[in-house]
């Protein structure tokens, strides 16, 4: 079966799967405090529907799936879904992005279900500042979940830190040292203008940060990529520590974009920073065959734009990050 190739010649082999739009945190750059405009649970794809869709994507060459949210561990029985997805023919890599508040309870089950890698959002190592950024006093739960995942043997574990000017940029060096100590990969991320929350976040250009860290910690350019994502990496000379820079604003990576995003209600988004979408739920619940859904996915991929316009049109995107899981 032919792979998914968009009209710009990019091969799509990576799907970010949002299993819920709910979250137990209210990070300032993601979801506003008091937000209530969640998708109705009746519109959520069921586990059977998700398994069927991901099976079709896998047959089309999409071998990597990352479960996201909202906070994915708020979806009841998520390890059961993970086990079903990891067993699908053609599935090579099933991973999870989480805020880790629920990870202590679920780490063992997730590992047994076939989740190989996890990314954890952690924007501060100071409990008071963490609460200010994330809207909840959950720092100790996050650290406990993170260490539980380490104990369970997840590898690699990546720490995602949204670097914000005047908010947490003074902690970047401490975060590097924390990740070096625990054997985690650190990824610094530029804030994106998604919804009012994203636009109100103080943007920090990561290019000068990368140069400074390179000099301070004696880092070198990494030649081989780490994972399927867009991060550009620096490494320690012995290769034991890696830090990635995700720079959608200062140095976008659209030319090599290999992903699409499936929201909890079955809407396929072709780009994080554009509105092109294709609703697959009506096909799933309307009696469409697998062949018809496959044809719809191929049609949807043709909608994938060449690039986002975060810099040129920062007011364009009204949906919040939590709808598509980043």
Q: Which domains does the chain carry?
A: 4-323 (3.20.20.70)
What is the structure's pLDDT at 35?
Answer: 77
Per DSSP, the three-state class of 239 is coil
Nearest alpha-carbon partner for 221 in 245, 205, 186: 245
Residues whose CB is less than 8 angstroms from the CB of residue 47 and which lie 6 or more positions away in sequence, other chains included: 77, 80, 81, 84
CA 253 to chain centre: 15
For residue 172, how many other CB atoms are within 10 A of its CB? 18
Candidate from 143-147, 284-288, 318-322 with smallest mean pLDDT: 318-322
Calculated CA dihedral for residues 17, 256, 245, 243, nearest 10 degrees: 80
First and final CA of the chain: distance in angstroms? 29
Task: Place 197 in a pLDDT band, splitting at 50, 70 and 90.
Answer: very low
Encode pLDDT of 145-168 as tens digits. 999 999 999 999 999 999 999 999
Angle at 277 between CA 273 and CA 283, to 5 degrees: 155
Candidate from 29-43, 268-282, 302-316 with smallest mean pLDDT: 302-316
What mean pLDDT, rounded, does the chain reach? 91
Candidate from 102-106, 225-229, 244-248, 290-294 with smallest mean pLDDT: 225-229
Encode pLDDT of 173-184 as tens digits. 999 999 999 999
**Residue 215: Cβ-neighbour burial (10 angstroms; 0-12, 13-18, 19+):** exposed
User: 198 pLDDT exceeds 60?
Assistant: no
- Interval 124-135 mean pLDDT: 97
- Spatial contact of 317 and 19, defined as CB atoms under 8 Å apart: no
Two structure tokens written together for 44: 């959520």
DSSP 254: G
Encode pLDDT of 96-128 as tens digits. 999 999 999 999 999 999 999 999 999 999 999
User: 317 pLDDT exceeds 70?
Assistant: no
């Amino acid at each position: 079966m032919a792979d998914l190739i968009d009209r710009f010649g990019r091969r799509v082999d990576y799907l970010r799967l949002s299993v819920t739009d709910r979250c137990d945190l209210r990070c300032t750059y993601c979801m506003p405090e008091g937000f209530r405009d969640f998708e109705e649970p009746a519109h959520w794809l069921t586990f059977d529907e998700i398994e069927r869709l991901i099976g079709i994507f896998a047959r089309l060459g999409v071998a990597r799936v990352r479960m996201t949210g909202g906070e994915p561990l708020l979806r009841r029985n998520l390890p059961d879904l993970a086990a079903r997805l990891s067993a699908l023919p053609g599935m090579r890599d099933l991973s999870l992005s989480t805020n880790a508040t629920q990870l202590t309870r679920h780490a063992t089950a997730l590992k047994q279900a076939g989740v190989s890698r996890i990314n954890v959002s952690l924007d501060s190592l100071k409990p008071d500042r963490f609460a200010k950024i994330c809207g909840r006093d959950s720092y100790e739960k996050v650290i406990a979940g993170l260490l539980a995942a380490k104990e369970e043997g997840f590898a690699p574990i990546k720490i995602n830190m949204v670097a914000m000017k005047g908010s947490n940029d003074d902690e970047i060096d401490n975060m590097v040292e924390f990740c070096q100590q625990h054997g985690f990969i650190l990824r610094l991320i530029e804030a994106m203008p998604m919804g009012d929350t994203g636009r109100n976040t103080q943007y920090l250009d990561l290019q000068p940060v990368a140069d400074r860290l390179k000099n301070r910690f004696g880092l070198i350019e990494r030649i081989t990529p780490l994972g399927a994502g867009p991060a550009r990496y620096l490494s320690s000379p012995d290769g034991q520590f890696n830090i990635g820079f995700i720079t959608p604003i200062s140095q976008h990576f659209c030319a090599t974009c290999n992903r699409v995003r499936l929201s909890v209600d079955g809407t396929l988004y072709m780009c994080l920073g554009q509105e092109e979408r294709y609703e697959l739920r009506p096909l799933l619940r309307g009696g469409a065959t697998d062949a018809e859904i496959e044809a719809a996915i191929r049609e949807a991929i043709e909608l994938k734009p060449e690039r986002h316009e975060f810099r040129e049109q920062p007011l364009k995107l009204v949906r919040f990050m939590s709808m598509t899981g980043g």
